[in-house]
Amino acid sequence: MKIRDLEVFVVGNPPPGWGGRYFTFVKLTTDNGISGIGEVYCATFGPKALTAMIEDVFERHVQGTDPFAIEALWRRVYGAGYTLRPDVSLMGVLSGIEIALWDIKGKALGKPVYDLLGGRVHEKLRSYTYIYPDTAAGQDDSIYWNAEQSAARAAHYVKLGFTGIKFDPAAPYSAFDPRQPSLESLELCGKFCKLMREAVGTKADLLFGTHGQFTTSGAIRLAKRLEPYEPLWFEEPVPPEKPEEMALVARATAIPIATGERLTTKYEFARVLECRAASILQMALGRVGGLMEAKKIAAMAETVYAQIAPHLYCGPVEGAANIHFSASLPNFLILESIETWSGFHSQILKKPIRWEEGYVIPPTEPGLGIELDEEVARAHPYTGDRLHLEMNPQPL
C-alpha cells in the first residue's frame, strides 16, 4: 500500500466563525483506495501559499511512500532543506499530513487511532469551552470585556454540563508584546474572576487565558490578582519564545501555568519541561508535529508529573485527532471543545463529534472515526487572503 493522491480543502468558516477564519484539511488516498483526513494549523502564511507548501511537501516526501512508515517520513520532512530544527510552518504542514496517515493506518487495520497509540485509557474525556457570545440573543464580541455578561454565559455553560470555562479579558495582544498590564486591565481581570467564581461556584474550573501579552513582572502582578479565585491555570502569561522567563512566573504563583499552542516539536517542549515553565501542556496537534510527536511530548511530561490539555482553535479534524490522543494518555487533564461541537463544526462532518454533559465520547470506528462531508467543504471555499489568526500590528 502506497500513498497516491493529495487533495487540499481550504474551507471558509461561516459566521460566527469560532475556530478561525478557515480550516485547512488534507486528504490522502492510497493506491488501494483508502483515504485519510488531516488538518494543518499554520497561521504564518495565507491559504494560497500554505496550499503550495502542502503540495510541495507531498510531492517531495510523501507521494509513493508507505503510510505506516511515519517515523522515517517525519525525520525526512523535519530535516528538509538542511533544517533539523523546529520550523512552525513546516511542522504545521507535516502535522496535517501525519494525522491523515494515522487515519489511513486505522482504517487499514480496522482500529481506532487510540488503539494504535497504546490503547484507550479514558472512556470519556472531560471538556471545556471558551466563552462565546450568544449570537441568537444579539450578543457580540464585546462580551469578552463584559464581566457581567461573561459570568452569565459561564453559568449557562455549566448548566449544559461543562466543568471548565475559559476566558481572556486581559486586553488585546500585539506583535510588540510583552508589556506591563494597565491598572485598568488588572482591575477588570480581577472582576472577571470574582463574578465568574460567584456564577459557577465549585461546579466548574476557571481557565484564565492570555496570549503572551505581558512581561514577566507584569504577569506576576496579574497572577496575584487571580490567585484568590483559584483558576485551574494561567495560560501563556509571557511570550512563548523564552520559557525560562515563564518559569519565573510559575515559581511566583500558586496557579498552574499552561502553555504550548504556539510551540512545535519535542525540542521546544523539552525546554518548557526542563526549566519547569509549565505543568500543563497545550500542544495543537495540527502544528506540533502530529500525533506521534505529541505522544512523545506527553511521555516526557509524564516523567515530571505535567498534564496534557490539547489546544483547539481549528476545525473538527484536529479536534478528532485531539480526542484519540487524549483517550490514550495517562496524564490527560482536559480537552478543549468549541462549545458542544455544534454549528459548522458538526455540519462539515457526516457524523458530528459526540459530546454529552460535559464530556466528549471517543468514537469506536476505525481511524479517526470521522468523515469529512466533501460537498459541504467544497460549498464553503475560503476565497480571501488573510491569515487564520492575526495580531495587532501596532504597539498597544
Estimate the share of the chain in helix, then strand, then coil, as percent rounded to the nearest 5: 40, 15, 45
Q: Please tell me whether residues 267 and 162 are part of one structural domain.
A: yes
Q: Is 311 a catalytic residue?
A: yes
Cross-strand pairs, 6:
28
Choosing from 61, 122, 156, 211, the catalytic residue is 211
Chain centre to alpha carbon of residue 191: 27
Span 300-330, pLDDT tens digits:
999 999 999 999 999 999 999 999 999 999 9
Is residue 371 domain-resident?
no
Three-state SS for 249? helix
- Chosen domain end from 111, 145, 160: 111
Residues 139 and 184 in one domain: yes
Same domain, 224 and 284: yes
Please indicate, yes or no, if residue 92 is contained in any of the structural domains.
Answer: yes
Q: Does 258 map to a domain?
A: yes
Cα–Cα distance measured from residue 147 to residue 179, given in angstroms and rounded to the nearest whole number: 23
For the chain, the average pLDDT equals: 97
pLDDT band at 283 (very low <50, low <70, confident <90, very high): very high
Q: Are residues 42 and 19 in the same domain?
A: yes
Of the chain, the percentage scoring pLDDT greater than 90 comes to 98
Domain count, the chain: 2
Task: Report the pLDDT averaged over residues 369-380.
Answer: 98
Q: Is residue 384 one of the residues assigned to a domain?
A: no
Whether 272 maps to a domain, the answer reads yes
Give residue 207's domain range. 115-366
Does 97 lie in the same domain as 151? no
Residue 7's H or E segment, with its range, is: strand 3-12
The answer on 191 and 63 residing in a single domain is no
Q: Are residues 37 and 90 in the same domain?
A: yes
In this structure, the answer to whether residues 92 and 211 fall within a common structural domain is no
133/261 same-domain check: yes
Q: 211 an active-site residue?
A: yes
Mean pLDDT calculated for residue range 200-215: 97
Do 260 and 201 lie in one domain? The reply is yes
Model pLDDT for residues 6-61, shown as the tens digit of each residue: 999 999 999 999 999 999 999 999 999 999 999 999 999 999 999 999 999 999 99
pLDDT above 90 (res 171):
no
**What is the sign, positive or negative, of the torsion defined by CA atoms of 313, 315, 316, 318?**
negative
Averaged pLDDT for residues 109-136: 97
CA angle 289, 348, 211 (to 5 degrees): 45
Q: What is the CATH number of the domain that holds 55?
A: 3.30.390.10
- Asked if 2 and 64 count as a contact pair (C-beta separation under 8 A), the reply is yes
Q: Is the pLDDT of residue 268 over 90?
A: yes
Residues 37 and 120 in one domain: no
Question: Are residues 126 and 231 part of one domain?
Answer: yes
Does residue 173 fall inside a structural domain? yes
Q: At CA 21, angle to CA 16 and CA 25, rounded to 5?
A: 120
Whether omega before 352 lies within 30 degrees of 0, making that bond cis, reads no
* Count of C-beta atoms within a 10 Å radius of residue 383: 8
The arithmetic mean of pLDDT across residues 214-235, rounded, is: 98
Residues, the chain: 396
pLDDT digits (tens, 9 = 90+) for 69-96: 999 999 999 999 999 999 999 999 999 9
Q: Report if residue 176 sits inside a domain.
A: yes
- Please identify which residue in the block is written with the cell numbers 510551540: 263
8 A C-beta contact, residue 261 and residue 311: yes
For the chain, state the CA radius of gyration: 20
Integer Cα distance of 97 and 7 in angstroms = 11
Q: Is residue 233 part of a domain?
A: yes
- Which of the listed residues 64, 83, 111 is the one where a domain comes to its end? 111
Q: Say whether pTM exceeds 0.75.
A: yes
Long-range contacts, stretch 53-58, CB < 8 angstroms, 24+ apart: 53/89, 53/90, 53/93, 54/6, 54/8, 54/24, 54/26, 54/93, 54/96, 54/97, 55/6, 55/8, 57/90, 57/93, 57/94, 57/97, 58/6, 58/97
Q: How far, in Å, CA of 363 to CA of 370, rounded?
A: 8
Question: Got the DSSP string for 30-42?
Answer: ETTS-EEEEEE--
Which is catalytic among the residues 311, 324, 345, 380?
311
Q: Where are the beta strands (DSSP E) in 250-389?
A: 257-259, 280-281, 307-308, 335-337, 355-356, 359-360
CATH code: domain of residue 335: 3.20.20.120
